[in-house]
Amino acid sequence: MNFIRNILNSRSNRDGNFFVNLKSILGFTPRNLGIYKIAFTHRSMNLRDDEGNPINYERLEFLGDAMVSSIIATHLYNEVPQGDEGYLTKMRSKIVSREHLNELGRELNLIEYVESKIPKDNFGNNIYGNLFESLVGAIFLDRGYEYCEKFIYKTVIIPHVDILQLEGKVISYKSLLIEWCQKEKKTFEYNIYEDTGNDELRHFSVKLLINDKVIAKARATSKKKAEEKASKRAFFAYQSKISRAI
C-alpha cells in the first residue's frame, strides 16, 4: 500500500486543485481522495500495487455500472407502479445507455482529470461514460450507497429523467427496424464495406436493403455506427408504418 500512497501523493502535489474541483462535482466532501484518483487513472499509466495488481479505473467502472443501474431501477420501480418488467427494463436501458452516460461524463468535463499517457484528443466518446461510472464506483467505496444515490439524483434523475419523454425515445434504430421487419415478414440485409477514401480515420459504408431494395445508405468510423445511421434513415422513411406496427 505504501507504493500506491506514494504515487497518489505525488500526483496530489502536481494537481493541488483536484480536491476542490472534485468536491464541486460531487456536491459533498470526499473522504478518501486516493480512491477518486484511481477513478481517473487510465490503464496506459501501467501502474501496479505492491502485489502486482493493476491500478486503473476499470474495476471502479464495473462497480459504478452496477450502482447506476440499481439506483435507476429503484427509481423507476417507485415512480411507475403500473410498469411491468419489460417496460421497466426498456426504460432503464434508455437512461443508462452508453450514449447517455457519455453525455453525462462530457457535461461534468471528467476527461479533464484523467491521468494517461495517451493524448486526450485520441480518446473515443466512450471515455466519458467510463469515467462517469468509475466516479460512481469511487463514491460507493468512499461514502456508501446513500451518497451514490444523492449523486445519481443530482446528475441524472432530476435533470434528465422525464418518464413521458423517455417513453418516446429510441435506444437503437437498428433493433427497432429489425423487430418491425421480422413482425412484417420482410427480409433485411446490411451490406458493409470498408470505405476509407481520403480520410485519416478508417471508415465503413453500409447499404441497408429491405425486401432486396436499397432503402438507406450511411458512412461512419465503425461498422456499428454505420449500421445505426442507416437504420435511423430507414426508420424515418417507414416511420408511420413502424409506429403503427410496433
Query: C-alpha grid cell for residue 216?
Result: 438507406
Length of the chain: 246
**One of 61, 65, 149, 228 is an active-site residue; which one?**
65
Q: Which of 61, 115, 133, 149 is catalytic?
A: 133
Query: How far does Cα 66 stand from its chain's mean position?
Result: 13
Rounded to whole angstroms, the Cα distance separating 230 from 190 reads 9
C-alpha span between 244 and 219 (Å, rounded) = 29
CB atoms closer than 10 angstroms to residue 23:
12
Q: Is 133 a catalytic residue?
A: yes
**Measured in Å, how far apart are the chain's first and last C-alpha atoms?**
56
Q: How far apart are CA 4 and CA 127, in angstroms?
A: 23
Catalytic residues, by residue number, are 65, 133
